Amino acid sequence: MANEKQMRQQTNASFRFVIDVDDERQAAFTECTLPNIEWDAEELKEGGLNSYTHQLPGRRKATKVSLKNGIGKSGLLNWYIEAISKTVSRKKLTITLLNSLQESVVVWNIENAYPIKWSGPQLRTDGNTLAIQTLEFICGDVTVKLS
């Protein structure tokens, strides 16, 4: 993608988390707080068994992902504005960690993501890209793929 290549040449190499929304590259970020994948455990006490309690897996707890210090296209901001207007639009979010050679190291695929928080940046007139300070998303199903 020419815009991505141009964006990378004009920015610092520390923007190593690249974001795709519905398989279209949208932004690059320097920081990413990945979702904590945690499951509820249901305790089951068995009569006459006093040495331990059975613990059965329950539902996965709700999780969020947070991206900080980003630059990108207006697609992410437009998606957030849609969410403000109460138009529910869940999308596939792909976060790719790149190494210093811009090669994929780890890919997180998040289904049914939904933006819930946006913190604005300090605006600058010397750039032609949309600066994004912090975005937070609710996560659906999360899968991880090592490259």
Q: Which two tokens stand for residue 73?
A: 């296209």
Q: Encode pLDDT of 96-125 as tens digits.
A: 998 888 889 999 999 999 999 888 766 667
Determine the Cα–Cα distance for residues 18 and 16; give it in Å rounded to an integer: 6
- pLDDT-based confidence at residue 75 (cuts at 50, 70, 90): confident
Determine the Cα–Cα distance for residues 144 and 50; give it in Å rounded to an integer: 39
Determine the Cα–Cα distance for residues 107 and 1; give it in Å rounded to an integer: 18
pTM equals 0.74
Q: What CATH number should be reported for the domain holding residue 58?
A: 2.30.110
Q: How many structural domains does the chain have?
A: 1
Show the domain range for 124: 2-146
The letter for the amino acid at 39 is: W
Q: Encode pLDDT of 38-53 as tens digits.
A: 889 999 888 888 898 9
Cβ partners under 8 Å of residue 40, min gap 6: 57, 58, 59, 60, 61
